Amino acid sequence: MLGRRDPQLGLFDAQTLPHRVPADSFYGQMSAVYGMLFPDEDLEAMYDPDTGRPSLPPSLMCGVLLLQFYDNVSDDEAVQRLQFDLRWKVALHLPLDYGGFNASSLSVFRGRMVKHGEERYAFDRFIQVGREAGFIADKVTLLTDTTSVKGAGAVQNTYTLLRKGMRKLLRAMGYRLPGKRRGLSEQAKHLIATYLDQDKKADIDWSDAAQRKAQLGVLVEDAEAVLDWALEHSDDADVRQVGWLLTKVLGDDVEDDTDGNTQLAHGTAQDRIVSVTDPEMRHGRKSAAHRFDGFKASVSIDQESELILDADDLAANAGDGQALMPSIERVEAHTDLVIERAIGDGAYISGDNLAACANHCDAQGQPQPIDLVGPLRQPANPDVHKSAFEIDLEQQTCTCPQGYTVSGRVVKDKQRRDVLRFAFDRQGCEACSRFADCVCSKKNGRTVTSHAHEALLRKARARQQSDGFKALYNPRSAVERIIGELVRHGLRQTRYIGERKRRLQRLWTAAAVNLKRLFALSQANNVDLTAVLATLA
């Protein structure tokens, strides 16, 4: 049942008494608008209208969540700040003797928001405030980038992945209950006792390579036995999901040596699972020197107002450019804005993204192309790079930097799209002074393959050399500054497991940063945020 805040101030309310919380601080400014920041009625649909005790008011819980992500504190610490931190009491209009509530109530409230699809509530509301105040125009330029984010799950090695995977599968099959164990074979009882009841590492000398390899063989044999056993429960969705997880670990991390014995696989599988606790975590890299385990956070902001318009997760092993179109689609779906231009670094400027932006349509299916701006990555040796060759797509010819021209033939790329492949004669290539740098093959001459969107790539590369490109591209650095601010508020440390809970954390952290930005914009433009919020009531 919905609980509501009492608007009547009490004798001990913090904001009615003399205090030292600066009015121009985030907490002081939040206090000035808090009465209209999160109306209880907005989240009324999350509660049963007739039964149950009145809940903690959603206006209070939303305020606590916002401050929790702003200050980057745990649930326990958030409740303690409600009780003892004058800044929080002032911001949330609480009395000095407020006793707080159990920290688990925050977890319950977040779960309720996720269940009812309200994880975007504060974020979308502040974007609406920005639009109503005139800070965000109807047509915007999107600045976008990503940053690395640590996952909430424990990063585990292959031995632990197999052991924990078997434990999880046995639990999914119901064998944590004594009644399910009656009549089982001795092998089944052994597996349950070893991986479900005990759940501890084998007692071996882990510094001994031979003992480690022998233990790996035992784990693999037991894992295959548990998977065979799980086939009897294959009609259960949870069993199938965990069974797939354990099968993937076996496939990615284990192989047979030349003698047929089990060993750890050489190299790292591209989509390798790194945690049974959070199977969505992956190995990722932001650079050759920067490796991390978890996710990437994709952030897009409005160039003019610098308000965050989108924040979401991307797989750690995915390229940054894969976040561009989903981010654009989310911004359009949730804000009803028209994106005229998108600016990103070299990771975003691919042929596929250029084509997707050029052929973009609005919600009504009308053409609404987006100007994608960014630098194409510079080749290590530009004199012999494909961009140095003149490709005539109409005539299907290619001319090398030395003036030698060949005709191409149509072939299929990895996505089964038509492209042109140009093969230069080796004899002619050998006569060239750049032969050693240009040709890698030991038998053939230089081969050049066009891209499915070759014309767009060449247009983007030519634009990159123009005088006005730097002025157009330089504002992109603003998104890096905003990401830095999000990191200071805890963006890089994931608190929760599960896509929607992670999204809630990203969006509420972004909402806190957006509210701070709204305060700055309202002061700079002499806008009364209270009046703006009143129009949204």
Q: What does 234-264 look like in DSSP terms, one character per residue?
A: TTSHHHHHHHHHHHHHHHHHEEE-TTS-EEE
Same domain for 19 and 132, yes or no, is yes
- Single-letter code of the amino acid located at 3: G
Distance CA 110, CA 434 (A): 63
Residue where one domain finishes, among candidates 449, 484, 513: 449
- C-alpha–C-alpha distance, residues 311 and 298, integer Å: 6
Alpha helices (runs of H) in 116-157, residue ranges in sequence order:
121-132
Question: What's the pLDDT at 308?
Answer: 98
> Domain total for the chain?
3
Residue at a domain's end among 264, 297, 317: 264
Name 513's Cβ contacts closer than 8 Å, sequence gap at least 6: 308, 482, 485, 486, 489
pLDDT (0 to 100) of residue 347: 93
Residues 133 and 168 grouped into a single domain: no
Amino acid at 372: L
Please name every residue paired with 95 in a beta bridge, in sequence order, or none if there are none. 13
192 lies in the same domain as 237: yes
Same domain, 90 and 168: no
Under 8 Å CB-to-CB from 183, ≥6 apart: which residues?
none
| Residue 477 domain flag | no
Burial class (CB in 10 A: 0-12, 13-18, 19+), 441: exposed
The residue out of 426, 449, 472 marking a domain boundary is: 449
Q: Is 419 found in the same domain as 526? A: no
**3-class secondary-structure state, position 16:** helix
Same-domain pairing of 164 and 95: no
Beta bridge partners of 144: 300
What pLDDT shows up at residue 12? 64
135 and 184 housed in the same domain? no
Residue 409 lies in domain: 394-449
In a domain, 179, yes or no: yes
pLDDT string in tens for the chain (537-residue length): 677 666 666 656 766 667 889 999 999 999 999 989 999 999 999 998 888 888 899 999 999 999 999 999 999 999 999 999 999 999 999 988 888 999 999 999 999 999 999 999 999 999 999 999 999 999 999 999 999 999 999 999 999 999 999 999 999 999 988 888 888 888 888 999 999 998 889 999 999 999 999 999 999 999 999 999 998 877 888 999 999 999 999 999 999 888 888 999 998 888 999 999 999 999 998 777 888 999 999 999 999 999 999 999 999 999 999 999 999 999 999 998 999 999 999 999 999 999 999 999 988 889 999 999 999 988 888 889 998 999 999 999 999 999 999 999 999 999 999 999 999 999 989 999 899 999 999 989 999 999 999 999 999 999 999 989 999 999 999 999 999 999 999 999 999 999 999 999 999 999 999 999 999 999 999 999 999 999 887
Q: Looking at the domain assignment, is residue 389 inside a domain?
A: no
Q: Please count the other Cβ atoms lying within 10 Å of the Cβ belonging to residue 274.
A: 23
User: Quick one: angle between helices 499-524 and 104-115, nearest 10?
Assistant: 90
**49 and 136 housed in the same domain:** yes
Closest CA to 147 of 286, 352, 8, 327: 286
Same domain, 167 and 136: no
pTM of the model: 0.92
3-class secondary structure, 533: helix
User: CA nearest 193: which of 181, 204, 205, 210?
Assistant: 181
Residues 438 and 504 reside in one and the same domain: no
495 within some domain: no
- What 3-state DSSP class applies to 455? helix
Quick one: pLDDT at residue 365? Answer: 87
